[in-house]
Amino acid sequence: MRKISFLSLMTAVSSVVYVLDSLIPFPVPFGRWGFSNFVVLWLASETGLWDAVTVAALKSMLGSVLTGSFLSVSFFVGFPGSVSAALVESLLATFGFGYVGLSVAGSFVNNFVQLMIVSYLVGTHVVFSLFPMIVALGSVSAVANAFLASRLGGVILENHLSFFFAEKERADEDPGSAI
């Protein structure tokens, strides 16, 4: 149960960032900064593959519902992108990379998968001419994400959200007291 509420909290945080993120202008068409991925990055690093994939899938669904693009083209492009990024990040996390490396690799894979889907939808490989631009900008936000992810663990521990880091009794006997 605690795991479910923990993952829902993470999904909520990530979706809110996703919505805020769509308000920030991005120089390349179809692009977004993708700051919501820091939650996924942190989960991939700390709690494992399935948590990261679950939250990646849920946040792009919930985020696209909130921004009104659910089941539209941008959803079908973004959803596999963030799920594959979560997969790659959690696989690389087992090899002891730092947050920056994981984040840059994740954003690279994310952009690559997205452009693969766009080029499939449009039917030409010409769309890959946008690739260097998107990856360069994506790496900038990836470094920002790495910083946010490295702070996220501290924030959660500091506030004693008592999910599975803090003591068991505290969360169970009096729900809400810890928060």
Partner 1 sequence: MKRKLFSRRDLWILLAVSLLLVGFFILRYYEAKGNVLIVEGTNFKKIISKPGVYDIDKEGKVVMKVEFDGERVRVIDSVCPLKVCVKTGWVKPGGTIICVPNAIVIHFEGKRDYDTETW
Enumerate binding residues for partner 1 (CB under 8 A): 29-30, 45-46, 72-74, 77, 92-93, 95-101, 104-105, 108, 118, 121-127, 129-132, 135-136, 139, 146-147, 150
Return the number of the residue (30 or 163) whose C-beta is nearest partner 1: 30
Q: Are the beta carbons of 49 and 98 closer than 8 angstroms? A: no
Answer whether 45's CB lies under 8 Å from 149's CB.
yes
Min dist CB 162 to partner 1, Å, is: 20
Nearer to partner 1, 125 or 170 (CB): 125
Q: In whole angstroms, how close is the CB of 35 to partner 1 at the nearest point? A: 16
Q: In angstroms, what is the minimal distance from the CB of 92 to partner 1?
A: 8
- By C-beta, is 132 or 176 nearer to partner 1? 132
Tell me the three-class secondary structure of the chain, residue by residue.
CHHHHHHHHHHHHHHHHHHHHCCCCCCCCCCCCCCCHHHHHHHHHHCCHHHHHHHHHHHHHHHHHHHCCCCCHHHHHHHHHHHHHHHHHHHHHCCCCCHHHHHHHHHHHHHHHHHHHHHHHHCCCHHHHHHHHHHHHHHHHHHHHHHHHHHHHHHHHHCCCCCCCCCHHHHHHCCCCCC
Residue closer to partner 1, measured from CB, 129 or 169: 129
What is the smallest separation between the CB atom of 120 and partner 1, expressed in angstroms? 10
Closest CB to partner 1 among residues 59, 78: 78
- We find the least distance from the C-beta atom of residue 176 to partner 1, in angstroms, to be 29
